[in-house]
Amino acid sequence: MVATIVSAASTKYDNYPESSSRELFGEAAAEAFDGIDLTPADLDAVYVGNFMGDLIEDQGHMGPLLADHVGAREAASIRVESACASGGATVAQAVQAIEAGAAEAVLVGGVEQMSLADIAHVTDALANAADDVYENEQGLTFPGIYALIARRYMHEFGVTQADLAAVSVKNRNNAVANPLAQFQEEVSREDVLESKPIATPLRLYDACPVSDGASVVVVVSETFATAHDLDASARILGTGQSSDAVALQDRATITHMPAAERAATAAYDDAGVTPVDIDVAEVHDCFTIAEIVALEALGFYELGEGARGAVEGETALDGRLPVNPSGGLLGKGHPVGATGVGQLVELTKQLDGRHPNQVDDADTALAHNVGGSGASTTVTILGGA
Amino acid sequence: MPAWFDDFTAAIDAHEQECLVCEACGDRTLPPRQFCPACAATELTPEPLPDRGEILSYTEISVTIPKFRGETPYTVVLVELAEGVQLTGQLREATADEIELGDEVRLDTEPRDDGLALITFHPAST
């Protein structure tokens, strides 16, 4: 039973301090249902990825709240929380429900409203994804955790800050052509290297911004699509998910990401493909170092080689494997619970041939979504309809 | 802070810090644990933990959470104290410019709020 995406939509990722999760989610869902012969009343379930609604908006219980706000009050609804991997985990849950025959039509969405709080409180809320006692209470921040990974990685593999900056330059410059991206201005390597330090060796432009936004995909079984005469935009060929220790200090290694390797292996096996089959990828680049270690964990590069992707242009739009043509988290923005679903929205457009940064002949695509500093990871592989 | 961490930091203060060693596989870990993270065995025995270790990584933090507002910049180090046992803490008596990966540091604690809540490391030479 292959799960099929029949519609995909996303708000622009940006700061909307006058908005709310219910409005953003409703906006994305309205666009997704516009133009397809399906109504929210046909949904069996609404799954919502969301990380910090209770911390920023004082709003938990997002499943039924948002199901109600998209006209599906009676559908089975649940919020899925796995920190910044909430969106990817939501997709995995929906695919499993469809493959198990428990649901035939699911609205899979993610939403985050972060800009209501000042930066210190957003940083504090994000810190909930780390080990509170052994990390936060010791003064470690989320950028700080990735900075520890970056420093060690640079030491072990002879990578420079300029090499890290190449990731930010690539992704932010990809974002310029994407109308849904938060950042719309080109940056140079000097801009990144001269931006203010946040947690050495990482600087402001090594980090993704604070974002608001919502993304949804309508996922149905193939038989449901046929019965309702729905055109498929993409097929979900495989999913994988794995975990690791939450605290960096409890990991066997901090310079690579075993949970991502396990998630990728499971997704490749499920889909019956290998890394060389992937035509385009959206990977979780919350910080520049994150994209580098992700490319290694996903099997695109050997350990210690991942920086080559951006530095040598191999992951550029016209490279052998375009990575984050959407702009990624660095350029497109990172409304935490929405990001994993937003990656699928971008890749569905790639497979449909209607992306603003269209990759030629894209037929197989990969999305990689990380929670915390690597403690939870999902990988989703899509194929063209 | 939770009681288990109060016990952990009080032991450091008394120079009696311990880790947990798995009787089945020998994996070392930090409290509190009921299951070995490596093999899921439940026979975990406290053993002395060295008070000196090597800096695996470090970062100087300029943007922080509300709890540490007004204290930036400060340096956080990730230190390996024994094989498989790493601990995160704030660097004292040196700045990020004065340390390198591999340097030896000494474990300590500092009071914060009502208890010994902060793990700290000092250059081993001080």
Q: Which domains does chain B have, with CATH numbers?
A: 3-123 (2.40.50.840)
Contact B65 A147 (CB under 8 A): no
Tell me, yes or no, if A84 is annotated catalytic.
yes
Averaged pLDDT of chain B? 96
Averaged pLDDT of chain A? 97
Does the CB of A248 have a partner CB in chain B at under 8 Å?
yes
Q: How far apart are CA A190 and CA A194, in angstroms?
A: 6
Q: Is the pLDDT of residue B18 over 90?
A: yes
Contact B65 A135 (CB under 8 A): no
Return the residue of B nearest to A127 by Cα: B65
Task: State ipTM.
Answer: 0.98
- ∠ CA A181-A109-A103, rounded to 5°: 150
Query: How near does any CA of chain A get to the CA of B87, in Å?
Result: 6
B10 CB contacts (<8 Å, ≥6 apart)?
Answer: B116
Contact A250 B68 (CB under 8 A): no
Beta carbons of B79 and B120 less than 8 angstroms apart: no
pLDDT at res. A265: 98
Return the residue of A nearest to B71 by Cα: A139
Q: How far apart are CA B94 and CA B1, in angstroms?
A: 27
Q: How far apart are CA A215 and CA A208, in angstroms?
A: 18
Q: How far apart are CA A295 and CA A308, in angstroms?
A: 10
Nearest CA-CA partner of A89 in A109, A103, A60? A109
Q: Output the six-digit token pair for A323.
A: 């990575």
Q: Choose the catalytic residue: A69, A256, A284, A334.
A: A334
Q: Which domains does chain A have, with CATH numbers?
A: 3-118+210-235 (3.40.47.10), 139-207+240-328+349-384 (3.40.47.10)
Q: What is the pLDDT of residues B52-105, one digit of tens each?
A: 999 999 999 999 999 999 999 999 999 999 999 999 999 999 999 999 999 999
Tell me, yes or no, if A355 is annotated catalytic.
no
Beta strands A76-80 and A45-49, pairing class: parallel
The per-residue pLDDT string of chain A (385 residues; one tens digit each, 9 = 90 and over) reads 689 999 999 999 999 999 999 999 999 999 999 989 999 999 999 999 999 999 999 999 999 999 999 999 999 999 999 999 999 999 999 999 999 999 999 999 999 999 999 888 898 999 999 999 999 999 999 999 999 999 999 999 999 999 999 999 999 999 999 999 999 999 999 999 999 999 999 999 999 999 999 999 999 999 999 999 999 999 999 999 999 999 999 999 999 999 999 999 999 999 999 999 999 999 999 999 999 999 999 999 999 999 999 999 999 999 999 999 999 999 999 999 999 999 999 999 999 999 999 999 999 999 999 999 999 999 999 999 9
Collapse the DSSP code of A355 into the 3-class scheme (helix H, G, I; strand E, B; otherwise coil) and give the result.
coil
Mutation target to probe the B interface, by most B beta carbons within 10 A, among A195, A200, A202, A255 is: A200
DSSP B50-68: -SEEEEEEEEEESS--GGG
Biggest CA-to-CA distance, chain A? 57
pLDDT at res. A349: 98
pLDDT at res. B113: 76
Beta carbons of B75 and B90 less than 8 angstroms apart: yes
Residues 111-170 of A with CB under 8 A from B: 119-121, 123-124, 127, 133-141, 143-144, 147-149, 151-152, 155
- Alpha-carbon distance values, B85 to A53, A145, A167, A366, B56 (Å): 35, 17, 32, 35, 11
Q: How far apart are CA B79 and CA B54, in angstroms?
A: 5
DSSP A55-80: HHSS---HHHHHHHHTT-TTSEEEEE
pLDDT band with cut points at 50, 70 and 90 for residue B125: confident
**Cβ contacts of B71 on chain A, cutoff 8 Å:** 139
pLDDT at res. A1: 60
Q: How far apart are CA A143 and CA A189, in angstroms?
A: 20
Nearest CA-CA partner of A219 in A106, A111, A99, A109? A106
Q: How far apart are CA A222 and CA A231, in angstroms?
A: 10
Contact A197 B119 (CB under 8 A): no
